Amino acid sequence: MTRLALDAAKTLREREHLTLGLVVVSQLAPTPASHLDAILQETGAAAVVTVEEAPPEGGWGGEMIATIEQIREARRLPAFTYRRVGAKNAAIPSARQLEDGMLPQAGDIVAAVLDCF
């Protein structure tokens, strides 16, 4: 997903002149709250888009958003816009061509970011 997120960021930078930050979270527990807190204070983010290979419902993206909301409330930061990008809500096929149709693509990330504005 990191490569797709980088491709989406490049597209958004070139087409929309948006500057984006990319945070690659490699662990869910313990949640990297101090790292996320530092990023939020540094960037003044207005929107957060999570991307994962699994369906977004009940996934780690929701957990990251919950952590970010706790930080936002504690710091009394303005509200953020959130979007979650993930696989379609079905079993992921093993055939590559079918798998690509189920997993999120760079275009899905671009659309989610643009939907924030």
Q: What is the pTM of this model?
A: 0.88
Q: What is the residue range of 25's domain?
A: 2-115
Query: Is 45's pLDDT higher than 80?
Result: no
End-to-end CA, the chain: 23
Q: Could you tell me the pLDDT band of residue 68, with boundaries at 50, 70 and 90?
A: very high
Q: Which two tokens stand for residue 2?
A: 């990191």
Indicate the number of domains in the chain: 1
Give the containing element (helix H, strand E) for 59.
none
What is the CATH classification number for the domain harbouring 38? 3.40.50.920
Highest mean pLDDT among 19-23, 30-34, 74-78, 83-87: 83-87
Instruction: Name the band, by pLDDT with cuts 50, 70 and 90, for residue 5.
Output: very high
* pLDDT at residue 83, rounded to an integer: 95
Give whole-number Cα distances, 22 to 25, 31, 51, 61, in Å. 10, 17, 11, 14
Cα 67 to the chain's mean position, in Å? 13
